[in-house]
Structure 1
Amino acid sequence: MSFGAPVRAVLAILGTLGLSVAAAVSPASAAGGTPTTPTQLFNGYRNCSTDADRPTYLPSRGNVVVEGIPGTADTTDSSPLTARYQVWPVGDPARTETVTHDRAVPGREATAILPGDLLADGQTYAWRAQTVAGDAASDWSATCYVTIDDTVPANAPAVSSPNYPPDRWNQGGDPVTIRLNAGGADDVAGFQYSWTGSLETIVLADIGDQGIPRPRDPYADPDHFARTDAPGGSATVDLIPPYGGAVTLWVRSLDRAYNPSETTSYRFYVSPTPPTVTPADPAPGFGDTTTFTLRPDAALQARSPVVSYSVHTSGGSDGDRTFEVAAAADGTATTQLTLDGVTGEQLDVTSRSADGWVSDPASWGIDYDTTPTVASEAYPENGSGGGAGVPGTFTFTPKVKGVVSYTYSFNTEPEVTVAAGADGGASIDWTPASAGSYDLQVHATTRSGIQLTTYDYSFTVD
């Protein structure tokens, strides 16, 4: 479950189950179907805290969900049960209120919403659960404690960096040390940050089998979250920026209920650190296999040795692909590629250093024209000639090596394939049945089965 609108959507569904105030029921003594104390207790899709000195902090926003799994001693009995929940202010137990989840399914989480008019910002509440089956009731569960926190942190966080100061260019290669401070907001428990400017909705739990929440700890993701060293305190993190140039980190504080503060942005500048990409042949032909040498940025290599490269190729006959190449001790690497993109091919290469730094990409590309050359004396391109019943010869000549056949079609007639000669060329004889405009479409196919780019040859029959 996420912290925000998705929770409210779940609550809207639960509202159809109805809430009711229950009358007193005596504990059961019958065997078999004896109600058992609810297990798997959660509040706000977070674990129940049974320590009154360490309650779970939750925003109410008019709805606090509590839940547990009701059941009976007879685990084969699927008769509906009632899950009953009592809640009271810790400082005023006389104000106890009761809500129920009627017709709950044994063995599945049964949710209920605590009375919104009871909950107040800053107050701590206790709640417990009980299973009711007919006139029988289980023992009460352990008591859980929650504190309602609907107040966002008063101040935006303070952000600084000792090794990447703002407003000037910094040599890339070292992780960016970011110092985060609550800025005087004494209830801050941590920070959330992002390089993209989008601070995502915080996901606090997934829902597993039997509806049991699986709580997540956002702070287990150090790329986006950090805990404070004390309530209202600070944190220091080392981060790798996603690119060079002008870089901005967006940060907001989070209190114990994950209420977010206003956002602070920290902008600094990183000198680009792309590698160099050099082919053995500076102008390889279509279908050639070429060795590429990858070299690290010198300043980057001096900071932390490059250990690998990520190579992304696009335009080739196999489609886009990405692969890793290990670097030698001096940071260089080589890789062989067959360039068979019918319109060309591009390489985008980033380096990765031992300290985790990922460089800006370096790009290398080449364009190819793989259309055949088409010629005809009787029917010149973009001209007119011949006539109805007048035969003409069309010659196909390749621009690339390895062509074994040509496939052609006049206007919308069915395609015809002819073999290429030893020189890769071919010719055909064609006789028009009538005068008018014609469009000849031709493409070549290579020995490896690659269909090359189609050429359109237009002419007019007199």
Structure 2
Amino acid sequence: MRVRHGVTAVLAVGVMAFGALPAQASAAALVAEPTVTSAEYPDDGAWHPGAGLPGSFTFDAGGDGAVVGFYYGNTDPAGTFVAADHPGGSATVSYTPQASGPDDLYVASVDSVGNRSPQHVHHFYVESTEPRVSGPRETGVGVPAEFGFSPGMADVVSYTYRIDDGPETTVAASAGTTTADVVTAALGYHTLKVWSTTSTGLRSGTAGTSYTASDAPLVASTDYPDSEAGGGPGVTGVFALTPRSPGVVGYVYYVNWDFDNPTVVPAGADGRASFTFTPDASGFYPFQVYSRTADGTQSKVGRDYYVMVR
């Protein structure tokens, strides 16, 4: 009797589980999974037209009369609806991949009460059309920095760029590499996003390059290059200072982290300046250099520069 009760209990659980599953599963099974075809972006493992270039995609219910339309999109589950041309028919949409590399278009058939089919994944590969971007890894703040843009597709007539999610700026393309003076308004880490446009209005994929914006002045010396052994005791070095923010009228620097003993250097009309330093002995001399504006405001970031005397 115990064995029979045990078997009965197992069967009862099995019946309950079976009864709880089919409602959604059977509804989905009533809707046929669509086929997806595309002349521009077939699912064939090869590379095709390119980021920013549209393609036509046809969804077909294969004659399943329950299907009234399709959901599609590049997210799972697909969220954009398009009606079939007739029950059990097909629909054709335009989809534009925004980036090069592997891409997926998710598509599901749907019936009149909202039941979806199993989702079809159309997998394809997108060639690169993004422009090539060159530029500094660090820029100033509020002053221009030169970046270069080179085409990744034919017939490019302009480039458009934006810093992070800021406003867009468009510049005309020139032969070869186009240069743009990009001004970054805020300190910190940024991404420059760049895309090109052809004479017929086709937009490329979007390239991105990251950099840091700092108001620390630039310091350079041929006598004592930064962090390299040079000069010697009694050998005077000349250090050139270049502003990295607007309105610089002078600089202040400290040696050996002695912040109680600043040395002030006035700047010329262009914000540039220089100073000399003559070490008494061999060794390591760390400098910290800041810029100043007319109202006495000091740059938020200082430039660390390391003099190593032979």
Q: Secondary structure of 1:193's match?
A: strand
Q: Secondary structure of 2:118's match?
A: strand
Deviation for aligned residue 1:235: 0.4
Q: Secondary structure of 2:117's match?
A: strand
The aligned runs of 1:430-449 (5 Å cut-off) are: 444-447=290-293
Measured in 1, the distance between the counterparts of 2:166 and 2:33 equals 43
Residue 30 of structure 1 corresponds to none
Is residue 254–residue 260 contact of structure 1 (8 Å, CA) maintained in 2?
yes
The aligned runs of 1:94-113 (5 Å cut-off) are: none
Task: Return closer, same or farther for 1:333/1:231 CA change in 2, 3 Å cut-off.
Answer: farther
Measured in 2, the distance between the counterparts of 1:168 and 1:234 equals 25
Residue 180 of structure 2 corresponds to 335
Q: Does 1:159 align with 2:12?
A: no
Identity %: 26
The aligned runs of 1:130-149 (5 Å cut-off) are: none
Measured in 2, the distance between the counterparts of 1:262 and 1:248 equals 15
Residue 161 of structure 2 corresponds to 311
Task: Return closer, same or farther for 1:151/1:331 CA change in 2, 3 Å cut-off.
Answer: farther
Q: For residues 375-394 of structure 1, what are the alpha-carbon distances to aligned partners after superposition, in whole Å with 9 as ceiling and x for unaligned?
A: xxxxxxxxxxxxxxxxxxxx
Q: Does 1:451 align with 2:300?
A: yes
Residue 182 of structure 1 corresponds to 61
Give the partner amino acid of 1:359: G
Measured in 2, the distance between the counterparts of 1:323 and 1:257 equals 44
Correspondence for 1:168 among 28, 42, 46:
46
Task: Return closer, same or farther for 1:332/1:196 CA change in 2, 3 Å cut-off.
Answer: farther
Is residue 130–residue 204 contact of structure 2 (8 Å, CA) maintained in 1?
no
Residue 359 of structure 1 corresponds to 205
Is residue 192–residue 254 contact of structure 1 (8 Å, CA) maintained in 2?
yes
Give the partner amino acid of 2:37: S
Task: Return closer, same or farther for 1:452/1:404 CA change in 2, 3 Å cut-off.
Answer: farther
Give the partner amino acid of 1:260: R
Deviation for aligned residue 1:260: 2.2
Correspondence for 2:100 among 240, 244, 252:
244
Task: Return closer, same or farther for 1:333/1:189 CA change in 2, 3 Å cut-off.
Answer: farther
Q: Secondary structure of 1:262's match?
A: coil
Residue 117 of structure 2 corresponds to 261
Q: Does 1:323 align with 2:164?
A: no
Deviation for aligned residue 1:335: 3.2
Q: For residues 347-406 of structure 1, what are the alpha-carbon distances to aligned partners after superposition, in whole Å with 9 as ceiling and x for unaligned?
A: 331224545544141537588775889xxxxxxxxxxxxxxxxxxxxxxx7754357344
Deviation for aligned residue 1:338: 4.0
TM-score, normalised relative to structure 1: 0.41
Task: Return closer, same or farther for 1:196/1:151 CA change in 2, 3 Å cut-off.
Answer: closer
Task: Return closer, same or farther for 1:365/1:284 CA change in 2, 3 Å cut-off.
Answer: closer
Deviation for aligned residue 1:421: 3.1
The aligned runs of 1:57-96 (5 Å cut-off) are: none
Q: Secondary structure of 2:119's match?
A: strand
Residue 231 of structure 1 corresponds to 87
Give the partner amino acid of 1:157: P
Structure 1 unpaired stretches of 5+: 1-120, 122-149, 201-223, 315-319, 374-396, 428-439, 458-462
Is residue 371–residue 452 contact of structure 1 (8 Å, CA) maintained in 2?
no
Give the partner amino acid of 1:321: G
Which of 1 and 2 has greater Rg? 1
Structure 2 unpaired stretches of 5+: 1-22, 221-238, 268-272, 278-285
Measured in 1, the distance between the counterparts of 2:124 and 2:56 equals 12
Deviation for aligned residue 1:159: 0.8
Task: Return closer, same or farther for 1:425/1:321 CA change in 2, 3 Å cut-off.
Answer: farther
Deviation for aligned residue 1:268: 0.9
Is residue 325–residue 333 contact of structure 1 (8 Å, CA) maintained in 2?
no
Is residue 252–residue 263 contact of structure 1 (8 Å, CA) maintained in 2?
yes
Residue 209 of structure 1 corresponds to none
Task: Return closer, same or farther for 1:340/1:360 CA change in 2, 3 Å cut-off.
Answer: closer
Residue 94 of structure 1 corresponds to none
Give the partner amino acid of 1:248: D
Task: Return closer, same or farther for 1:331/1:183 CA change in 2, 3 Å cut-off.
Answer: farther
Residue 276 of structure 1 corresponds to 132
TM-score, normalised relative to structure 2: 0.57
Is residue 187–residue 212 contact of structure 2 (8 Å, CA) maintained in 1?
no
Q: For residues 7-42 of structure 1, what are the alpha-carbon distances to aligned partners after superposition, in whole Å with 9 as ceiling and x for unaligned?
A: xxxxxxxxxxxxxxxxxxxxxxxxxxxxxxxxxxxx
Deviation for aligned residue 1:251: 1.1
Q: For residues 154-178 of structure 1, what are the alpha-carbon distances to aligned partners after superposition, in whole Å with 9 as ceiling and x for unaligned?
A: 2221111112222111132641110
- The count of aligned residue pairs is 240
Correspondence for 1:296 among 129, 144, 151:
151
